[in-house]
Amino acid sequence: MPLVRVDIRKNPDPTFAKRIGEVIYAALRSTFNVPEHDNFQILAEHDGPHFIYDPQYLGIPRSDGMVFIQLTVSEGRSVEQKQQLYQTIAYHLHNQLAVRQEDVFINLVEVKKENWSFGNGIAQYVS
């Protein structure tokens, strides 16, 4: 059900983006109860001119280590679950991959269940 998009600046470690995705999937499983195998991710790396952010917006100091995360999920989670998800992702990216928590930017997009088709042109979540 979640579709995860991660955008980072090009990293010398070819496994870095995939490891970010693994942290996010684990956080989704623990906070949003995402089922096993429900893991769909688009991981992209960008060169400097195509990676733009404000280094001080809302008083948060950001660096080129920014990680942009966009999560498209079915609606229905509580504010508390969402806050727990954000905290869990930022905490584990920092502890496992040394990403500064200030550099974790998360955008959650909620959609109705009928807005998903996982293949075969069928809206699998419509009953």
Radius of gyration in angstroms for the set of CA atoms belonging to the chain, rounded to a whole number: 15
Q: Give the predicted TM-score (pTM) of the model.
A: 0.94
The predicted structure's pLDDT at residue 127? 74
Residue whose token pair is 């809302």: 58
* Residue 98: per-residue pLDDT: 98
Q: What is the C-alpha separation between 76 and 2, in angstroms, rounded?
A: 13
pLDDT of residue 50: 96
* φ and ψ of 51, to 5 deg: -135, 95
Distance from C-alpha of 114 to C-alpha of 122, rounded to nearest angstrom: 10
Q: Which CATH number fits domain 3-115: 3.30.365.10, 3.30.429.10, 3.40.50.2020, 3.40.50.2000?
A: 3.30.429.10
Average pLDDT by consecutive 10-residue portion of the chain (127 residues)?
A: 95 97 98 96 97 97 98 96 98 98 98 91 87
Give the catalytic positions in this structure. 2
